[in-house]
């Protein structure tokens, strides 16, 4: 214990080391604070949905109640869906920074609503934002380099290495003590603020333990790399330059090049192209006989085929029918788009087995439920809810049932867990 305390005192005298540790702690706290603030903002926005929805529906219900027209109710009513952040989302915001977590949908064509303006673009997620994952993956290795690049070489350059090696508990034991001490301090600067924030956010014990082990494993990788470079017996400056080059290659250059290669190897159309194709199909319906549209709709949805023929004037059931036909016309594109995204994501995650920076970021995003898989799962819940909305309004439209003010309360409500409608 005396030797350990002696090493601690020596380390405390190294002003640059203490500044580096303090800076890492400050960056960690700032990143966690930024993540918690963003998650709090998103939760506040989601919490405000019911009040805003009630106000909107009340205004629409007062208008529709005069005509009892189900088509007007379906056309003007927006229905909110949302994806609440998981407890660990503050640590790795992931796709929540570039993809919508609140989406208000109507019973009209869904594909244009999901992909309008290509709000979900995975390529925008590459740089990431300043959160705990960014500090761990991108910045923590630099602090490892700062504390370990001259662990042995500085003593050799000062002429003290042989004396230290000759001490009773010197040599490898000495370097091991100093390495363990530096590793523990680096780990503490990252782990302690994270653990406090995670507990306060309600993160499960197993998830917290997994992240703490992940922090340790990532730091140990860079420490091992620094030790490997140190065995070459170069100068401290050369060690630092070599390790900095390794950081540049392993954290920035190779992942970026890999991302470019993956995108070229697995081409994927942008979501805006799906929205455009869906709109073209919808607009085309105005230029063809209405009976042709209805025939296509009834072929896919025979349960409504007993509906009365269209009247000479405009009827909303034709309008909603060609919106659904428009959705179905781009179904193959939607499947191809999703398949392409999933293949890109799987390929990128497999890269994490050889690039620790990619692997750590992918695992953190998965634990935080902020990765592509989580975003696609949210879209699946939106689709399930939208299907329920269509069936609800079709029950009025295709049977010419009047839609009264009280019927608004019967409309499905989004269930975040499954997307299945609730009353």
**Per-residue pLDDT, 319:** 95
**Considering its fold, how many domains does the chain have in total?**
1
Residue with tokens 């939106």: 382
Structural domain harbouring 35: 1-423
Lowest mean pLDDT among 142-156, 323-337, 361-375: 142-156
Q: Is 314 exposed, middle or buried (0-12, 13-18, 19+ CB in 10 A)?
A: exposed
Q: What distance in Å separates the CA atoms of residue 396 and residue 130, rounded to the nearest whole number? A: 49
DSSP-derived 3-state class of residue 81: strand
φ/ψ bin of 117: left (φ > 0), alpha (ψ from -120 to 50), beta (otherwise) = left
Cα–Cα distance for residue pair 128/122, rounded to 1 Å:
11
pLDDT tier, 4 (very low <50, low <70, confident <90, very high otherwise):
low
**Tokens standing for 368?**
């935080």
Task: Kindly tell me if the per-residue pLDDT of 423 is higher than 60.
Answer: no
| Residue 169 pLDDT greater than 80, yes or no | no
What average pLDDT does the segment 21-26 reach? 95
Mean pLDDT for the chain?
88
* 422: confidence class by pLDDT, cuts 50, 70, 90: low
Grade residue 253 by pLDDT with cuts at 50, 70 and 90: very high
pLDDT tens readout for residues 306-333: 999 999 899 999 999 999 999 999 999 9
| Predicted confidence band of residue 18 (pLDDT cuts 50, 70, 90) | confident
State residue 233's pLDDT score: 78
> What's residue 154's pLDDT?
55
pLDDT value at position 351? 92
Average confidence (pLDDT) over 204-218: 97
Q: Which two tokens stand for residue 227?
A: 């030790």
Average pLDDT over residues 248-271: 91
Neighbours of 263 (CB within 10 A): 17
- Tell me how many degrees the CA angle 137-123-29 measures, rounded to the nearest 5: 30
- Helix 372-397 and helix 316-329, axial crossing angle in degrees, nearest 10: 150
Closest CA to 147 of 123, 180, 196, 169: 180
pLDDT of residue 353: 92
Work out the pLDDT band at 121, boundaries 50, 70, 90: very low
């Amino acid at each position: 214990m005396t030797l350990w305390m002696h090493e601690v005192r020596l380390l405390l005298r190294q002003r640059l080391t203490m500044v580096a540790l303090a800076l890492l702690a400050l960056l960690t706290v700032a990143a966690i604070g930024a993540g918690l603030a963003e998650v709090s903002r998103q939760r506040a926005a989601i919490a405000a949905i019911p009040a805003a929805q009630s106000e909107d529906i009340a205004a629409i219900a007062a208008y529709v109640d005069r005509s009892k027209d189900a088509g007007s109710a379906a056309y003007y009513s927006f229905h909110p869906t949302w994806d609440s952040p998981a407890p660990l989302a503050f640590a790795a915001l992931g796709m929540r920074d570039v993809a919508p977590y609140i989406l208000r949908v109507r019973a009209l064509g869904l594909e244009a609503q999901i992909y309008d303006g290509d709000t979900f673009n995975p390529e925008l997620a590459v740089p990431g934002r300043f959160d705990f994952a960014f500090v761990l993956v991108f910045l923590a290795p630099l602090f490892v380099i700062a504390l370990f690049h001259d662990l042995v070489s500085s003593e050799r350059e000062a002429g003290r290495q042989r004396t230290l090696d000759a001490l009773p508990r010197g040599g490898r034991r000495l370097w091991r003590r100093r390495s363990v001490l530096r590793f523990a301090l680096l780990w503490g600067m990252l782990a302690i603020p994270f653990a406090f924030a995670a507990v306060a956010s309600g993160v499960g014990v197993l998830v917290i333990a997994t992240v703490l082990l992940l922090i340790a494993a990532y730091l140990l990788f860079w420490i091992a790399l620094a030790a490997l470079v140190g065995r070459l017996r170069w100068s401290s400056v050369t060690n630092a330059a070599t390790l900095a080059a390794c950081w540049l290659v392993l954290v920035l250059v190779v992942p970026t090049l890999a991302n470019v290669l993956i995108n070229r190897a697995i081409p994927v159309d942008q979501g805006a192209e799906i929205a455009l194709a869906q709109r073209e199909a919808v607009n085309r319906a105005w230029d063809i006989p209405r009976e042709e549209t209805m025939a296509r709709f009834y072929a896919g949805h025979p349960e409504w085929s007993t509906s009365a023929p269209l009247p000479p004037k405009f009827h909303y059931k034709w309008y909603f029918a060609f919106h659904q036909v428009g959705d179905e016309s781009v179904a193959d594109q939607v499947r191809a788009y999703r398949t392409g995204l999933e293949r890109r994501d799987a390929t990128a995650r497999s890269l994490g087995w050889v690039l620790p920076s990619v692997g750590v970021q992918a695992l953190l995003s998965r634990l935080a439920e902020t990765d592509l898989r989580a975003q696609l799962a949210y879209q699946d819940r939106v689709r399930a809810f939208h299907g329920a909305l269509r069936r609800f309004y079709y029950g009025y439209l295709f049977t010419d049932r009047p839609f009264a003010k009280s019927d608004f309360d019967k409309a499905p409500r989004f269930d975040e867990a499954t997307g299945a409608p609730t009353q």
